Amino acid sequence: MICIPVTASSNEGAIDEMKEAAKFADIVELRIDYINSPDLESLLKERTKPVIVTNRARRQGGMYSGDESARIGLLKEAISLGAEYIDIEHDAVNEIGDAGSTKLIASYHNFDETPDNLLDIHSDLVKLGAHMVKLITFAKKITDNFRIFELLCGSGFPTISFCMGELGQISRILSPKFGGKLVFASLAKGKESAPGQLTIDELVNVYRIGEVDKDTKVFGLLGNPVAHSRGAYIHNGAFKEKGINAVYVLFKVDDQELVGFMEYVRKGYVNGLSVTIPHKESVIKFLHNIDPIAKKIGAVNTVVNQDGKLSGCNTDCPAAVDALDETLQKIAGSSMEELNEPICGKSVLIIGAGGSARAIAFGLNEKGANITIANRTETRGEMLAKEVGCRCIGYNELNDIEIDVLVNTTSVGMHPNVEGSPISDSVLKKGMVVFDIIYNPPKTKLLQMAEEKGGVVLGGIEMFVRQAALQFELFTDQEAPLELMRITVSG
C-alpha cells in the first residue's frame, strides 16, 4: 500500500494536498506537526481516503515544538474524531490510553544509523500492543537495507520498515517484496517528509511499486556513482512492456562494501546485476563462472544469479561489435562478400586503453579487424596492444596511418565538456567510419567534425542500448524490446 504524507503548513493547504494525494495513495498521512494550529475537525471531515495522523516532535525529526501533553492531546483529539490510524512514538504509546476504533502504529525512527540490535527494537515495538509497528532507520551503507529485508522476512507481525537517506532508497522500493506494509511517497520533489523519500511519480511510473510483491525478481546497477544512470528507466520500461514481474534499482556500493553486498546477492536477494565503474573488475572474484571473452577482457558488466551461482559476462563487447557491424553492413550495401564479415580486414584505430577500449579491442580482434591503439598514456596503450596482439602508436603518428574505422573510447567530449575532441580533425577523412562510445551528448564534437569531413558516424546510444538489451535477455531469457529501449535512452 502507498501512503503519501501531507506536509502543507496551513489547514487549507493540507486539505488541497490531501485531495491531490488521495488520487494516488491508499492512505494519506496527515502530518499535523507541519501545520500551524491544525483544525483537526475540518481536516478529517475533508478526507476521502483513510488517514494516519502524525504529530512528530522535533526531538524525533518532526516539526512539532510545543509541549508534550499538548502534542499527545492533538492525537487524542484525532482519535475522538475517528481517524483511521495514529502514528505514536514507541516511548509515548502508554500516554494514549483507549484508542477506540483508531488503530495505533507504534513507531521508532533513527535518523543517524541502522542499529545492530534491530531485532530487539522490533520485538520491543511489537510488545507495545499496537495494531502495526513502524521501524525506520537511516542507511549509512547499502547492506543496512538488506538487514531491514531480513527483519521483514522474519517479522511475523504487521510491520512498516525501510531505511531513510539516499542509500536507503532501494528499501523504499523493495520493502513490499519482503512483506513491508506501507511505502511512503512524496507528492512532488520538495514535498518530502523524510530524507530519501521518492516521489509518487517515480515510485509508480518508474518502479511500478503497485506490482512489487513476494515473487518480484530484483535486478539492478552495481556501481558508484549510479545516480546519473538511465538503467532504471530502460530496464523497468522493458519489464513493463514484456509483462515481467521484475524491478530494476540502483545499488550504490563503495569498494569497502562490495564483499557484504555480494554476500546478499549470493543469498538470493538480487537476481541479476549490471555492473559499472568501479566494480567491473573487482566483481570477478565473486563469480562462479565467467564467460571466456569477459575473462580475456578482464571486466564484467553483467552478473546473473542462478540459485546462488553467479555468472558474469561482458555485453559491452558484443554490443559495440554488433553496432559497428550494422553500420558497416549498411555502407557495404549489396556486396555479399562484405556483408558476411564486414569488420574483417578493416583498419581500426582505437583511441584509449581503458576498460571500454579493452572490450572493443578484444571483440573486434575476434572478428579479424586490423587494430591499432593510441592512448594518452602510451605505456598503457602498449600493454593493451601486447595483450590483444596488435600495434600501438603515439598521438603524433595519427596522421600517418590508413584508417577505415576510428573508435573513441575516452571520455573526451562527454557532457559537460562537449567542446572537447580526442583527436584533431586532420585525422578524419571522407568515407571514414567514426564511432564514439559517448552517448551524452548523442552527437559529440568528434562526430560533428567527422560528418563535416564526409565521414559516416555512429554514436554511443546504439552501443548503450544494445548492451542493455543483451543484459535484459540474460536476466529474463526473453527477447528485449530493442526499439522501446532505444526510445527510452534517447528520450
Shortest distance (Å) from residue 355 CB to ligand ATR? 3
Q: Does 380 bind ligand ATR (CB under 6 A)?
A: yes
232 vs 418: CA distance, rounded Å = 25
Contact between residue 293 and residue 299 where contact means Cβ atoms under 8 Å apart: no
Shortest distance (Å) from residue 356 CB to ligand ATR? 4
Question: Residue 467 contacts by C-beta under 8 Å, 6 or more apart in sequence?
Answer: 301, 315, 316, 319, 320
Q: Using the structure block, give the residue that is written with the C-alpha cell 512492456.
A: 241
| Residues within window 387-446 making contact with ligand ATR, judged by CB under 6 A | 409-412, 422
Of 159 and 375, the one with the shorter C-beta distance to ligand ATR is: 375
Shortest distance (Å) from residue 414 CB to ligand ATR? 9
Say which of 33, 87, 109, 445 is annotated catalytic: 109
Q: Which string of x and - marks every residue 119-138 that binds ligand ATR (by CB under 6 A)? A: --------------------
296 vs 362: CA distance, rounded Å = 8
H helices of 223-276, in order, are: 231-242, 258-264
Per DSSP, the residues of 472-486 read: HHHHHSS---HHHHH
462 vs 487: CA distance, rounded Å = 11
Q: Which string of x and - marks every residue 44-63 that binds ligand ATR (by CB under 6 A)? A: --------------------
Shortest distance (Å) from residue 385 CB to ligand ATR? 12
Shortest distance (Å) from residue 216 CB to ligand ATR? 31
Say which of 280, 296, 346, 445 is annotated catalytic: 280
Of 65 and 377, the one with the shorter C-beta distance to ligand ATR is: 377
Read off the C-alpha cell for 177.
517484496
- Is 134 an active-site residue? yes
Shortest distance (Å) from residue 335 CB to ligand ATR? 33
Shortest distance (Å) from residue 229 CB to ligand ATR? 14
Any idea what DSSP says for residue 57?
A: B
Shortest distance (Å) from residue 121 CB to ligand ATR? 42
Shortest distance (Å) from residue 475 CB to ligand ATR? 22
Instruction: Indicate the Cα dihedral angle 396, 397, 399, 405, nearest 10°.
Output: -120
Read off the C-alpha cell for 206.
518508474
Of 237 and 312, the one with the shorter C-beta distance to ligand ATR is: 312
Contact between residue 409 and residue 360 where contact means Cβ atoms under 8 Å apart: yes
Residue nearest ligand ATR (C-beta atom): 354
Of 136 and 468, the one with the shorter C-beta distance to ligand ATR is: 468
Cα–Cα distance list, 78 to 42, 47, 81, 435 (Å)? 11, 13, 5, 64
Say which of 87, 90, 122, 134 is annotated catalytic: 134
How many Cα neighbours within 13 Å face the side chain of 157? 20
Of 106 and 374, the one with the shorter C-beta distance to ligand ATR is: 374
- Is 214 an active-site residue? no
Read off the C-alpha cell for 402.
590508413
Size of the site for ligand ATR (CB under 6 A): 15
H helices of 309-459, in order, are: 316-332, 336-340, 355-366, 378-388, 445-452
Q: Which string of x and - marks every residue 169-208 that binds ligand ATR (by CB under 6 A)? A: ----------------------------------------
425 vs 406: CA distance, rounded Å = 12
Which residue, 160, 181, 278, is CA-closest to 222? 278
Of 108 and 439, the one with the shorter C-beta distance to ligand ATR is: 439
Of 343 and 357, the one with the shorter C-beta distance to ligand ATR is: 357
Say which of 33, 87, 144, 316 is annotated catalytic: 316
Q: Which string of x and - marks every residue 72-111 that binds ligand ATR (by CB under 6 A)? A: ----------------------------------------
Per DSSP, the residues of 137-199 read: EE-SSHHHHHHHHHHHHT--S-EEEEEESGGGHHHHHHGGGGT---EE-BSSTT--SSTTPPB
Of 259 and 277, the one with the shorter C-beta distance to ligand ATR is: 277
Q: In the chain, count H helices and then E strands.
A: 18, 20
Binding segment toward ligand ATR, per CB under 6 A, in 72-80, 107-115, 148-156, 347-355: 347-355
Question: Residue 278 contacts by C-beta under 8 Å, 6 or more apart in sequence?
Answer: 223, 224, 255
| Residues within window 349-378 making contact with ligand ATR, judged by CB under 6 A | 352-357, 375-377
- Is 280 an active-site residue? yes
Of 59 and 376, the one with the shorter C-beta distance to ligand ATR is: 376
Residues with a catalytic annotation lie at 109, 134, 280, 316
Q: Which residues bind ligand ATR (CB under 6 A)?
A: 352-357, 375-377, 380, 409-412, 422
